C-alpha cells in the first residue's frame, strides 16, 4: 500500500495558486484511479483506489500547509506504514516553472509543509514529487508568490507538469523509485 499526499491549502481562495499544485496532482491521480474523495479522516480529504495493482490511499490535508504533518503522521501510523510507502507532492521554488523532479529524503528547504511533515514522521526518507513553480521576482516575498496564481503561460506549463507528475507517481508505484527517477528526472521539463 502507498500513501500519496498532495500538499496545499484548503478553500477556494487557494485554488489555482502555485502552492496548491500538490492538490492538483492528487486530484488528477484520484480521477485516473476512479477514487473519490468521499471520506474525511486525519484532518484530510481521503480517497482510496488502486494504481498498477497496488492499494493507494490519497490524502489532501485540510490543515493548511504549515500543519500538514498533523494529518499525514496519523494516517501513516494508522496503516502501520513506513516512510518508504509515502509519496508527497509539493511545489518547489528552486525548480523552474513546469519542471518535475523525483527524489527520496532530504531537508525541508524552507518549505513549511515539508517542515511540518518532518516534525510528525519518524524520518525524512519519504518520496518527493517536486513541481517547479520558479523563484519569485526580486520585489516579491516568497510566501506571497507561492500563494498567488500564475499567469496564463505559466499556468499552461504547470498544467503540463501536473499531468507529468501524476504519471511519475504511477511509475513509482508500478516500477519502483529508481526506474521512475531515471525516466522522470531525465525528462527535459
Indicate the angle between helix axes 69-78 and 112-120, nearest 10 degrees.
40
Nine-digit cell string for 58: 490519497
Q: Which of 19, 90, 111, 120 is catalytic?
A: 19
Q: Which residues sit opposite 49 in a β-bridge? A: 56
What does the CA dihedral 10, 119, 162, 178 come to, rounded to 10 degrees? -160
- Grid coordinates 508505484 are at which residue? 173
Angle at 181 between CA 180 and CA 185, to 5 degrees: 125
* Residue 111 designated active-site: no
Q: Which DSSP state fits 66?
A: G
Residues annotated as catalytic (active site), given as ranges:
19
Amino acid at each position: 500500500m502507498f500513501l500519496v499526499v498532495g500538499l496545499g491549502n484548503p478553500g477556494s481562495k487557494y485554488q489555482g495558486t502555485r502552492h496548491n499544485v500538490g492538490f492538483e496532482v492528487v486530484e488528477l491521480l484520484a480521477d485516473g484511479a476512479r477514487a473519490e474523495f468521499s471520506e474525511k479522516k486525519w484532518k484530510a480529504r481521503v480517497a482510496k483506489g488502486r494504481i498498477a495493482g497496488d492499494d493507494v490511499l490519497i490524502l489532501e490535508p485540510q490543515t493548511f500547509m504549515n500543519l500538514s504533518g498533523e494529518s499525514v503522521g496519523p494516517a501513516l501510523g494508522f496503516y502501520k506504514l513506513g516512510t518508504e510507502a509515502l509519496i508527497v507532492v509539493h511545489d518547489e521554488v528552486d525548480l523552474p516553472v513546469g519542471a518535475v523532479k523525483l527524489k527520496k529524503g532530504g531537508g525541508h528547504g524552507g518549505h513549511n509543509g515539508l517542515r511540518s511533515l518532518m516534525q510528525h514522521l519518524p524520518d525524512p526518507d519519504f518520496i518527493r514529487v517536486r513541481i517547479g513553480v520558479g523563484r519569485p521576482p526580486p520585489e516579491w516575498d516568497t510566501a506571497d508568490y507561492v500563494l498567488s496564481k500564475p499567469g496564463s503561460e505559466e499556468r499552461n506549463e504547470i498544467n503540463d507538469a501536473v499531468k507529468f507528475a501524476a504519471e511519475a507517481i504511477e511509475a513509482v508505484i508500478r516500477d519502483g523509485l529508481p526506474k521512475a527517477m531515471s525516466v522522470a528526472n531525465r525528462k527535459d521539463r
